[in-house]
Amino acid sequence: MNTSWIILSALINIFVVLFLSPFFDGFTRKVRALIQSRVGPPPLQSYYDILKLMGKEDLKSTINPLFRISPYLSVISIAMAALLIPITDFNPPFNFWGDIFLFIYIITVVGIAIIITASASENPFAYVGASRKMMLHLSVEPILAIALITGAINAGSFKIGDIVTWYYSNGPNVSMLLATVCVFLSLQALIGKIPFDVSEAEQEIAEGVLIELSGPKYACVKWANMSKQVLFCLVFSQIFIPWPMTENFLLNTIIALLKVTIIIFISTLIEALNPRLRIDQALKYNLTLAGFSITAIFLALLGV
Considering only residues 98 through 127, tell me which ones interact with another protein, judged by CB under 8 A: 98, 101-102, 104-106, 108-109, 112, 115-116, 119-125, 127
Count residues binding another protein (CB under 8 A): 77
Query: Site for another protein (CB under 8 A): which residue of 97, 171, 203, 275?
Result: 97
Q: How far is the CB of 199 from another protein (least distance, A)?
A: 12
CA–CA dist 232, 127 (Å, integer): 25
Residues in region 28-87 near another protein by CB under 8 A: 54-66, 72, 75-76, 79-80
Residues in region 229-288 near another protein by CB under 8 A: 279-280, 283-284, 287
* Identity of the residue, 36 or 124, whose beta carbon is nearer to another protein in the bound complex: 124
Closest CA to 116 of 192, 62, 194, 43: 62
The answer to whether 109 and 73 are in contact (CB under 8 A) is: yes
* Identity of the residue, 41 or 215, whose beta carbon is nearer to another protein in the bound complex: 215
Query: Site for another protein (CB under 8 A): which residue of 45, 131, 173, 261?
Result: 131
The answer to whether 194 and 271 are in contact (CB under 8 A) is: yes
The answer to whether 274 and 185 are in contact (CB under 8 A) is: no
CA–CA dist 289, 268 (Å, integer): 21
Closest CA to 86 of 141, 189, 5, 21: 5
- Fill in the per-residue mask, 150 to 179: x = in contact with another protein (CB under 8 A), - = not in contact: --xx--xxxx--------------------
CA–CA dist 185, 181 (Å, integer): 6
Q: How far is the CB of 209 from another protein (least distance, A)?
A: 12
* Identity of the residue, 40 or 216, whose beta carbon is nearer to another protein in the bound complex: 216
- Residue type at position 22: P
